[in-house]
Amino acid sequence: MSKRIRIVDTTLRDGMHSVAHRYTPEQMAGIAAAMDGAGIGTIEVSHGDGLGGSCIQYGRSAASDEVYLKAVGAVLTQARLAVLLLPGVGTKEDLDMAADLGAQVARIATHVTEADISEQHLGLAKRRGMEVMGFLMMAHMAPVESMVRNAEQMERYGADCVYVVDSAGYMLPEEVMQRVAALKGALQCRVGFHGHNNLGLAIGNTLAAIEAGVDVVDGSLRAMGAGGGNAPTETLVAVLARLGIETGIDLFKCLDAARLVEPFKDRARQGAEATLMLGYAGVYSSFLLHTARAAERFHLDAREILVELGRRRVVGGQEDMIIDVAYELSLKAGAE
Amino acid sequence: MDSRVNVAILGPGNIGTDLMYKVLRGRRIELAMMAGVIPESEGLARAASLGIATTAKGIDPILERDDIRLVFDCTGAKYHRAHAPRLKAAGKIAIDLTPAAIGPYVVPAVNMGEHFDSPNINLVTCGGQATIPIVAAVSRVAPVAYAEIVATISSKSAGPGTRQNIDEFTKTTARGVEIVGGAAKGKALIILNPAEPPIIMRNTIYCEVEKPVDEAAIRDSVNRMIEAVRSYVPGYRLRVPPLIKDRLVTTMVEVEGAADYLPRYSGNLDIITAAAVGVAEKLANHIVQGMQEANHV
């Protein structure tokens, strides 16, 4: 395995979930500058739920997308600025704004079976000259053939890369390999993998994806990300170096950058048990903090809420279902 | 004198066919014609078998019938833009089920009274029909600074039109939340859920009110609004009654379809055909009353 793997860092996007979307633009710029200096080539910046995601349903960010993009864009010297957009949440106007502010990579995310809602957004990003990555979220929820059909659609709409996204941190290494291999076999474009560490498998699953031929992988400093977080970028750099795989990232400088997020880490460590339950029940990782809040408000066990959400096959973005389920469980508990 | 008003349906697809069954149960409206452009359309065949006049020549046969006063347009935004001026010139009121948004947004339980004289009425979106009544119910009790709605529908009930232009849904619904719902600022999110069996449409409505609110007054207003919507959408139900925390009022409703033609889970489609009939009944009442008053003079 002597080759090169590209790492996209999502500390300032998925990692926003760990801080309830409250990084200040100055904090973001500081972390981004350190990552840029370490040689991280692509840095994603958005609300955790993508452009336009600042709202009651997902939590309001400390600043607007525009302010964050300006702050980070100003400090980058070599890294490409990336944004995430979920059709149904963000709009084409948001994407245009990001392109105007210099975002060079657009990641367009849909539930694994709903790629056809991304056509206009992928098309717009392409016309704006951006590199376009399609994100198939909650990949574990659809049969492999269905995932492949949706990936093919995204490629047809213009994606330069399509990701297998294990949003619930539910997948096992073998399942990751199977899905990545299926996409590598079906697509002309590149294939990516984005893992979550809910079952402690983010690094292992990323290695499985690499074994299966993946081209791009996601990481975040100190694993900052929804639920149990993502594959830690600094660990990826070290592990890939041992495997003889080039990442273009300086390990020491990457570790220095990771120190900058350390102060925010305590908050993210809350609820290790609930984190495991996300992965076990197959529930969208960003539900973690919302579930903890609902458990407190309705005097429930967060584990119970998560199992019920998994049973109902709730998809990404349905944070309101947490209140729905908690309300119903609290009525039942009251009746008992 | 006849107290029913003649109506026509333009576009005999899924929506038009579901609408047909609802119109046939109307109290004040009489389905005089079903018009399409494909002679072998299933919707036209169903209409013909029920003894309704049909045509595959599009809008022209409807324009030739002076007795037809209201026309439901279930074609598409592009087609409705062409139909609207012709219907207006022929003195017919258009009830637009497409996203063309030529006429004012109307949610029957909220603002029908303001638009009896409009030649064209637009029904916002399915999510708007389901959530704007709740925003309006809150805002008539306490001014709403910001309202955010989340509509979750089954993947199976989202047609290609919605899928290809999902921004149109979020933007139009957000505007409706402001203009009709009365929120100073609105935002809309839509989520498609592919679970099998398909989920029924569910909606969450968050309203941030300007000052501390009287909980009982909010609950009472929402309950009254639910009943008003249920008068034309029987499957509209409160799922979680208003939960109030500080200045945030969170309410959840679900919409089960009547299964007239479309499946029961597609409450999102049912609510817009039901709203169209709700509008037509109110317009018909208004027209009939106008005629009766004229006769008394």
Tokens 């029909």 belong to residue: B129
Model confidence pLDDT, tens digit, residues B192-233: 999 988 999 999 999 999 988 899 999 999 999 999 999 999
Let me know: does A14 contact A85? Beta carbons within 8 Å.
Answer: no
Minimum-distance CB partner of B191 among A297, A312, A317? A317
Which of B167, B187, B254 is most worth mutating to test chain A (most A CB atoms within 10 A of its CB)? Answer: B167
Within 8 A of B160 by CB-CB distance, chain A residues are 116
CB contact burial A184-201 (16+ within 10 A = b; e otherwise):
eebbebbbbbbbbbbbeb
Within 8 A of A298 by CB-CB distance, chain B residues are none
Model confidence pLDDT, tens digit, residues B33-81: 999 999 999 999 999 999 999 999 999 999 999 999 999 999 988 899 9
Q: Which helix (H) or strand (E) holds A72?
A: helix A65-73
Is residue A130 located within the same domain as residue A252? yes
Is residue A289 located within the same domain as residue A328? yes
B194·A314 Cβ contact <8 A:
no
A251-269 helix and A233-242 helix, angle to the nearest 10 degrees: 140
Per-position DSSP letters for A142-172, written without gaps between them: S-HHHHHHHHHHHHHTT-SEEEEE-TTS---
| Residue A140 domain flag | yes
Within 8 A of A156 by CB-CB distance, chain B residues are none
For chain A, what is the domain count?
2
A142·B189 Cβ contact <8 A:
no
Least CA distance to B253: which residue of chain A?
Answer: A324
Q: Which of A268, A286, A318 is at the close of a domain? A: A268
Which of A112, A320, A323 is most worth mutating to test chain B (most B CB atoms within 10 A of its CB)? Answer: A320
For residues A285 and B246, what is the distance between their CA atoms, to the nearest angstrom?
27
Question: Minimal CA–CA distance to B126: which of B144, B111, B107, B142?
Answer: B107
Q: Residue A94's domain is classified under what CATH number?
A: 3.20.20.70
**Rounded to the nearest 5°, which phi and psi values hold at A51?**
-55, 140
Give the pLDDT of residue A3: 86
Q: Which of B10, B126, B132, B144 is catalytic?
A: B126
Let me know: does B98 contact B171? Beta carbons within 8 Å.
Answer: no
Let me know: does B189 contact A88? Beta carbons within 8 Å.
Answer: yes
Least CA distance to A330: which residue of chain B?
Answer: B240
Q: What is the largest CA-CA distance in chain B?
A: 60
Minimum-distance CB partner of A88 among B190, B208, B240? B190
Within 8 A of B208 by CB-CB distance, chain A residues are 56
CB atoms within 10 A of CB A242: 7
Minimum-distance CB partner of B187 among A55, A87, A114? A55
Model confidence pLDDT, tens digit, residues B79-138: 999 999 999 999 999 999 988 889 999 999 999 999 999 999 999 999 999 999 999 999
Minimum-distance CB partner of B150 among A57, A114, A313? A57
Within 8 A of A89 by CB-CB distance, chain B residues are 170, 189
Give the pLDDT of residue B165: 85
Is residue A175 located within the same domain as residue A286? no
For residues B87 and B94, what is the distance between their CA atoms, to the nearest angstrom?
7
Tell me whether residue A17 is one of the annotated catalytic residues.
yes
Is residue A140 located within the same domain as residue A264? yes
Distance from CA of B185 to the nearest CA of A (A): 12
| Residue A71 domain flag | yes
Least CA distance to B192: which residue of chain A?
Answer: A114
Is residue A177 located within the same domain as residue A295? no
Is residue A153 located within the same domain as residue A283? no
Residue spans of chain A under pLDDT 70: 1-2, 266-271, 336
DSSP A78: S
SS3 A26: helix
Q: Which of A17, A121, A140, A290 is catalytic?
A: A17
Within 8 A of A314 by CB-CB distance, chain B residues are 193
Question: Minimal CA–CA distance to B238: which of B230, B90, B109?
Answer: B230
A56·B208 Cβ contact <8 A:
yes
Q: Residue A286's domain is classified under what CATH number?
A: 1.10.8.60
Rg of chain A in Å (alpha carbons): 19
In terms of Cβ atoms closer than 10 Å to its own Cβ (0-12, 13-18, 19+), residue B24 is middle
SS3 A1: coil
Q: Which of A251, A268, A285 is at the close of a domain? A: A268
Interface residues on B facing A, Cβ-Cβ cutoff 8 A: 148, 150, 152, 155, 160, 163-167, 169-171, 187, 189-195, 202, 204, 206, 208, 239-240, 243, 245, 248, 250, 252
DSSP B152: E
| Residue A1 domain flag | no
| Residue A103 domain flag | yes
The chain-wide mean pLDDT, for chain B, equals 94
Is residue A250 located within the same domain as residue A291? no
| Residue A255 domain flag | yes
Interface residues on A facing B, Cβ-Cβ cutoff 8 A: 55-57, 87-89, 91-92, 111, 113-114, 116-117, 119-120, 141-142, 297, 312-315, 317-318, 320-321, 323-324, 327
Is residue A90 located within the same domain as residue A18? yes
Question: Minimal CA–CA distance to B213: which of B140, B147, B136?
Answer: B140
SS3 A110: strand
Is residue A259 located within the same domain as residue A284? no
Least CA distance to A298: which residue of chain B?
Answer: B243
- Distance between terminal CA atoms of chain B? 15
Is residue A142 located within the same domain as residue A223? yes
Cα→Cα distances A333→A298, A299, A304, A320, B253, Å: 10, 10, 12, 20, 22
Distance from CA of B25 to the nearest CA of A (A): 35
B189·A119 Cβ contact <8 A:
no
Residue A62: both structure tokens together? 């400390």
For residues A151 and A143, what is the distance between their CA atoms, to the nearest angstrom?
13
Q: Which helix (H) or strand (E) holds B283?
A: helix B267-296
Give the pLDDT of residue A1: 45
Is residue A292 located within the same domain as residue A194? no
B189·A89 Cβ contact <8 A:
yes
Minimum-distance CB partner of A91 among B164, B171, B252? B171
Going along chain B from its start, the domains and CATH numbers come out as: 5-123+273-296 (3.40.50.720), 126-264 (3.30.360.10)
The pTM assigned to this predicted structure is 0.93
Is residue A309 located within the same domain as residue A237? no
| Residue A299 domain flag | yes
Question: Minimal CA–CA distance to A46: which of A128, A133, A114, A123?
Answer: A133
SS3 B32: strand
| Residue A42 domain flag | yes
Model confidence pLDDT, tens digit, residues A300-336: 999 999 999 999 999 999 999 999 999 999 999 887 6
B150·A87 Cβ contact <8 A:
no
For residues A296 and A119, what is the distance between their CA atoms, to the nearest angstrom?
40
Distance from CA of B175 to the nearest CA of A (A): 14
Q: Which domain holds residue A252?
A: 6-268
Question: Minimal CA–CA distance to A280: which of A166, A139, A169, A165?
Answer: A169
Let me know: does B71 contact B92? Beta carbons within 8 Å.
Answer: yes
Q: Which of A236, A251, A268 is at the close of a domain? A: A268
